């Protein structure tokens, strides 16, 4: 097993095999999950434990190399949610199938990562009705 494979396994296990941004368990998704660089390689982010997150394709592709976003309430540039230093519950909550931000960091992250994309809201709504989402430790 390579060093990259070890890091990927560590990130997956640390995240409980769910996306660290939207909290969707990998078992409930058809798309692959990624070892995502919190600070992108193009910004000199290293491929090390403290700079990687486990992310679904949707969140990873929307985040891209971004490390910040515009808070829609204040129009100020703020950092995006960083799963290595931030606690999800400090910045977000679920109200039904929607991710609701509690902070400027949360608001910018919801926008940049499109956490309330209509398709994702619909998926979460279906999973809630089946009793399969959100994860029990989120409340």
Q: Is 8 exposed, middle or buried (0-12, 13-18, 19+ CB in 10 A)?
A: middle
| Helical H segments across 1-139, by residue range | 3-14, 57-63, 88-91, 104-112, 118-129
pLDDT in tens, 4-26: 899 999 999 999 999 999 999 99
The pTM assigned to this predicted structure is: 0.94
Domain regions of the chain by residue span: 3-134
pLDDT in tens, 47-92: 999 999 999 999 999 999 999 999 999 999 999 999 999 999 999 9
Inter-residue contact 133 to 116 (CB < 8 Å) = no
pLDDT in tens, 89-139: 999 999 999 999 999 999 999 999 999 999 999 999 999 999 999 877 775
């Amino acid at each position: 097993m390579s060093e990259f494979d070890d890091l990927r396994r560590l990130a997956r296990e640390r995240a409980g095999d769910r996306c660290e941004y939207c909290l969707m368990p990998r078992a409930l998704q058809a798309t692959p999950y990624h070892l995502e660089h919190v600070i992108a390689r193009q910004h000199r982010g290293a491929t090390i434990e403290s700079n990687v997150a486990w992310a679904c394709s949707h969140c990873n592709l929307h985040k891209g190399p971004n490390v910040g976003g515009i808070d829609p309430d204040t129009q100020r540039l703020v950092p995006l949610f960083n799963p290595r230093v931030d606690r999800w519950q400090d910045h977000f909550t679920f109200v039904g199938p929607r991710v609701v931000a509690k902070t400027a960091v949360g608001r910018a992250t919801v926008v940049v990562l499109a956490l309330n994309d209509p398709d994702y809201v619909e998926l979460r709504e279906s999973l809630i009705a089946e009793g399969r989402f959100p994860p029990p430790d989120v409340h």
